[in-house]
Amino acid sequence: MNFMMFFEQVGRFFFEKKQVWIFFSLLIAPFFLVLAVLAPRFFTLRETERSFDSAALRGRAALEKRIEKEMFLCRFSKFEPYFIDQYLEALPLLQDNLQELYAMKNHPASKNRDALAKRIEFLEGPDNRLSFAEENIRSSKRIKETEERLLHPVEIDMNDLNRLLSLIEDVAIGGYTPKETSPQLIIQDFVLTKKNGAAYELNLSLLKREFLHTAEK
């Protein structure tokens, strides 16, 4: 009986005196509540799924790039501090030409011995040696950058050029192989001018990067 009275009161409350809106509000409120709770979760899930798909697609390329970066840092973090002095500046140039000049000078029929001696002196002297001057040194905690500029142009032949580029650019060219202890050397300015015969005049400017211990992020 009490239930009947309860239902009667509920019926009157909901459907009497234009209070039907309360009934319909209560009827649809749970749906809105569920919608309000589930919709953000659903859209977050959709976004997460999209992110996952996108990440999975880009993951392989990113992994390859990361490995490449790690290998790069591993390669260039073990460098010799005086690499330029030891390997580039000590590089003898135009050796084939020098041998020819010596042969010509020592030949009994040679007429221009003075000129040949002067030429040999130039080639063996400091005027035709790579000599770099350091400029614009920039450094951070883990990287040091130095611009290295040739003090004067030098004369080289094709062999010298290949050897030089192999050492500077860390690539194997013909029979010349790079040194594993070189710092990162980037050619900023390279001018190669043809001279007489097989000789070329080279002017060069480098950027040397030294990676200290671990890489800059």
**CB of 64 vs other proteins, minimal distance in Å:** 9
Report the chain's C-alpha Rg in angstroms. Answer: 39
Alpha helices for the chain (secondary structure H): 2-15, 20-76, 83, 95-106, 113-124, 158-169
> Given CA atoms 157, 161, 163, 164 in this order, what sign does their dihedral have?
positive
- Return residues touching other proteins (CB under 8 A): 4, 6-12, 14-17, 23, 26-28, 30-31, 33-34, 37-38, 41-42, 44-45, 47-49, 51-52, 54-56, 58-63, 65-66, 68-69, 72, 138-140, 143, 145, 165-166, 169, 171, 173, 184, 186-194, 207, 209, 211, 215-216
Please say which residue, 11 or 81, places its beta carbon nearer to other proteins: 11
Please say which residue, 59 or 81, places its beta carbon nearer to other proteins: 59
**CB of 198 vs other proteins, minimal distance in Å:** 13
Please say which residue, 118 or 195, places its beta carbon nearer to other proteins: 195
**CB of 179 vs other proteins, minimal distance in Å:** 15
**CB of 29 vs other proteins, minimal distance in Å:** 8
Nearest to 149 by CA among 128, 166, 130: 130
What is the distance between the alpha carbons of residues 98 and 108, in angstroms, rounded to a whole number?
18
Please say which residue, 43 or 102, places its beta carbon nearer to other proteins: 43
Strand, helix or coil for residue 87: helix
Q: b/e string for 169-185 if b means 16 or more Cβ within 10 A?
A: ebeeeeeeebeeebbbb
**Residue 198 gets which letter from DSSP?**
T
**CB of 214 vs other proteins, minimal distance in Å:** 13
Please say which residue, 50 or 118, places its beta carbon nearer to other proteins: 50
